[in-house]
Chain A
Amino acid sequence: MGKYLLFNILQVLTVLVFSPLVIGVLNRLKEIVQSKHGPGILQPYRDLWKLFSKDEVVSEESTWIFRATPYVAFVTPLFVTLLIPVLTSYPLFWAFMADMVGAGFVLALGGFFAALAAVDAANPYGPMGASRTRMVGFLGEPIFIIVFFTVSFVADSTIPYIVQQKWVTPLSNFFEPAHILLLISFIMLILAEKGRIPVDNPSGHFELAMIEESKDLEYSGKGAALMKWGGWMKFFVLMNIFLNVLVTPWGLASTVQLSAVLLAVPLVLFKILLFIIFLVLIESSLAKLRLFRISEYMSTAFIIAVIAMLTSVFTG
């Protein structure tokens, strides 16, 4: 029991500590592809340090929502971490507190508060970005739902720890059409949800074209640090849901030993590195879509998710 609690805390610490590193590596890889002399992989940590030691400016006209949002955005990914397999392939202390739908709900709560806060501060660009994020969000919602439908249909469960075992027992299940198609659909969803390239440009700083970034324009100092860190952790958690629950549980600790769990940390980071390389390839070879093309992109992801469901219905 005590051990499980320790592992849970380890999971949370992994997400907390390594999420800026993942973003740093991602940015560095992109710079290498674009042959730029950019900052090193530790730059996100320096950014956080800088922001935490700065003063915060809060508009007098804003309400409690604006002040509470950084904490909500920071805490929700950590809550989700308790529910999903980050390091171990067996359920931990809180694993049965909520299923994948619950995890999705908690993540959506952070996005909801961020959108409200953007409107609350009444910066002219904030509400625009917030409404665009909501547009992408509500187009993404049916995909989320269909993906969870299919997963629960195929694996008879929505608890992440049970779902992940389904794909590799036996190994031929890995090639089940529902599995592969779900992966394609979920990658497209992650790209949209986190504002990566075909949907939004994460390194763009032109306010009129922003989707994801313009929500936290109004934050400064500690608030900005918490918002940024929360965003990175959300990315880390989404990648973990994708890699550990939907792809395979390979690399996760399967025994109740501290050494096995500690060994899982570099293995999981290695998996994430592979995924990031894939992401960099996508981001460097595609252009950002026009805003009204996003619905086409999202409907493609939706179609793929529905086909995944249909093929699993066809084959019974």
Chain B
Amino acid sequence: MPDLLTNLNELSGGLFIIAAFGIVAARQMRGCMIFFIFQSFFLAASAFIMGIITSSDHLMIVGGINILTKVIFLPWLLSRLVPRKIATKREIVQVINIPTSLIIALLLTITAYFLTVPWLKAAPGADALHINVPIGLAGLLLGAYTLSVRREAVPQLLGLLSMENGAFFAGVAIAPNLPLMLELALAFDILIITFIAGILTRTVHERIGTTAVGTLSTLREEPRK
């Protein structure tokens, strides 16, 4: 039985990181969102499994809050706030093409592993650390990578939130008895971030007819030469 639980935890880790790759590479905003929901779901699954292994009620509640906020409430909020026209648009703009992007993301994942090896050696302990910490760090890096290659507001927001997911994925293994207050505060934070970003996206879309925030970088004070 403990073997099965460890395996299931590792499996949700693997699927978690694949969902992160999906957020990097999905072509449509809707696809990005679906991958984000999957990622949050696997995060919650890992929290539940860790909760059973370490018999910690806190982790169960963390998983529950995750399901409520990120799997149910957040997608609903985004789909209400973001105009339908953006959500179903195809071929969102990306700086690097998708296969190259995937390969770079893969290198980031391998880097995450090598970064955590010395750390894991210094802290021998639960099996779960060996999967949750490198994958959590990889999730963090992939989220940051999504932020930097996507040129649209909503996928960037999802990249930011998937960074948070990555941090949490490592967190559930490192600190099984995370103060509940922290998790609650974070959950509300995420909703507020989504709310603000959603309203901002909507306004930007209404004003200038696009949400390709990448073009904002050409805005400068001095006239371009």
Check if B21 sits within 8 Å of A315, measured CB to CB. Answer: no
Check if A177 sits within 8 Å of B103, measured CB to CB. Answer: no
For residue B125, CB closer than 8 A to chain A, the reply is: no
- Which chain B residues (89-135) contact chain A, with CB distance < 8 Å? 98-99, 102-103, 105-106, 109-110, 113, 127, 130-131, 134-135
Check if A308 sits within 8 Å of B14, measured CB to CB. Answer: yes
Chain B residues lying within 8 Å of A308, measured Cβ to Cβ, are: 14
B7, B18, B134: which contacts A304 (Cβ < 8 A)?
B18
Complex: how many Å from CA A282 to CA B69?
31
For residue B13, CB closer than 8 A to chain A, the reply is: yes
Check if A307 sits within 8 Å of B14, measured CB to CB. Answer: yes
Chain B residues lying within 8 Å of A181, measured Cβ to Cβ, are: 14-15, 18
Complex: how many Å from CA A306 to CA B102?
11
Complex: how many Å from CA A307 to CA B142?
14
For residue A122, CB closer than 8 A to chain B, the reply is: no
Closest to A174 in B: B7
Per-position 1/0 for B21-47, Cβ under 8 A of A: 100010000000000000000000000
Check if B99 sits within 8 Å of A311, measured CB to CB. Answer: no
Check if A311 sits within 8 Å of B131, measured CB to CB. Answer: yes
Chain A residues lying within 8 Å of B14, measured Cβ to Cβ, are: 177-178, 180-181, 307-308, 311
Shortest Cβ distance from residue A188 to the other chain B in the assembled complex, whole angstroms: 12
Check if B99 sits within 8 Å of A295, measured CB to CB. Answer: yes
The answer to whether residues A299 and B103 also contact, given A304-B18, A314-B134 and a CB cut-off of 8 A, is yes
Closest to B127 in A: A315
Chain A residues lying within 8 Å of B110, measured Cβ to Cβ, are: 310
For residue A33, CB closer than 8 A to chain B, the reply is: no
Chain B residues lying within 8 Å of A173, measured Cβ to Cβ, are: 7
For residue A170, CB closer than 8 A to chain B, the reply is: yes
A171, A302, A304, A310: which contacts B109 (Cβ < 8 A)?
A310
Check if B11 sits within 8 Å of A176, measured CB to CB. Answer: yes
- Which chain A residues (42-57) contact chain B, with CB distance < 8 Å? none
Check if A299 sits within 8 Å of B13, measured CB to CB. Answer: no
Chain A residues lying within 8 Å of B103, measured Cβ to Cβ, are: 299
Complex: how many Å from CA A306 to CA B11?
14
Per-position 1/0 for B176-196, Cβ under 8 A of A: 000000000000000000000
Check if B113 sits within 8 Å of A176, measured CB to CB. Answer: no
Complex: how many Å from CA A304 to CA B15?
9
For residue B216, CB closer than 8 A to chain A, the reply is: no
For residue A313, CB closer than 8 A to chain B, the reply is: yes
For residue B77, CB closer than 8 A to chain A, the reply is: no
Check if A306 sits within 8 Å of B10, measured CB to CB. Answer: no
Check if A175 sits within 8 Å of B98, measured CB to CB. Answer: no
The answer to whether residues A170 and B3 also contact, given A300-B102, A307-B14, A307-B109 and a CB cut-off of 8 A, is yes
For residue A316, CB closer than 8 A to chain B, the reply is: yes
Shortest Cβ distance from residue A289 to the other chain B in the assembled complex, whole angstroms: 12
For residue B153, CB closer than 8 A to chain A, the reply is: no
B7, B106, B127, B135: which contacts A172 (Cβ < 8 A)?
B7
Chain A residues lying within 8 Å of B131, measured Cβ to Cβ, are: 177, 311, 314-315
Check if B10 sits within 8 Å of A311, measured CB to CB. Answer: yes
Shortest Cβ distance from residue A205 to the other chain B in the assembled complex, whole angstroms: 29
For residue B17, CB closer than 8 A to chain A, the reply is: yes
For residue B8, CB closer than 8 A to chain A, the reply is: yes
Per-position 1/0 for A282-316, Cβ under 8 A of B: 00000000000001100110111011101101111
Complex: how many Å from CA A311 to CA B135?
9
Complex: how many Å from CA A176 to CA B18?
15
Shortest Cβ distance from residue A160 to the other chain B in the assembled complex, whole angstroms: 22
Chain B residues lying within 8 Å of A177, measured Cβ to Cβ, are: 7, 10-11, 13-15, 131
Complex: how many Å from CA A181 to CA B7?
13
Check if B99 sits within 8 Å of A299, measured CB to CB. Answer: yes
Complex: how many Å from CA A148 to CA B190?
41
Complex: how many Å from CA A303 to CA B109?
11
Check if B113 sits within 8 Å of A296, measured CB to CB. Answer: no
Complex: how many Å from CA A300 to CA B13?
17
Shortest Cβ distance from residue A307 to the other chain B in the assembled complex, whole angstroms: 6
Complex: how many Å from CA A302 to CA B10?
19
Closest to A170 in B: B3
Q: List 9 contacting pairs A-B, 8 Å CB cutoff, sorted by A.
A: A177-B11, A177-B15, A180-B15, A181-B14, A181-B18, A299-B99, A303-B21, A314-B10, A314-B113
Identify 8 new A-B residue pairs, CB closer than 8 A, beyond the known A175-B7, A310-B110: A175-B4, A176-B7, A176-B10, A300-B102, A303-B18, A307-B14, A311-B10, A314-B130
The interface of chain A, by Cβ under 8 A from chain B, is 170-173, 175-178, 180-181, 295-296, 299-300, 302-304, 306-308, 310-311, 313-316
Lowest 5 A-B CB distances belong to which pairs?
A: A177-B14, A172-B4, A299-B99, A175-B7, A177-B11
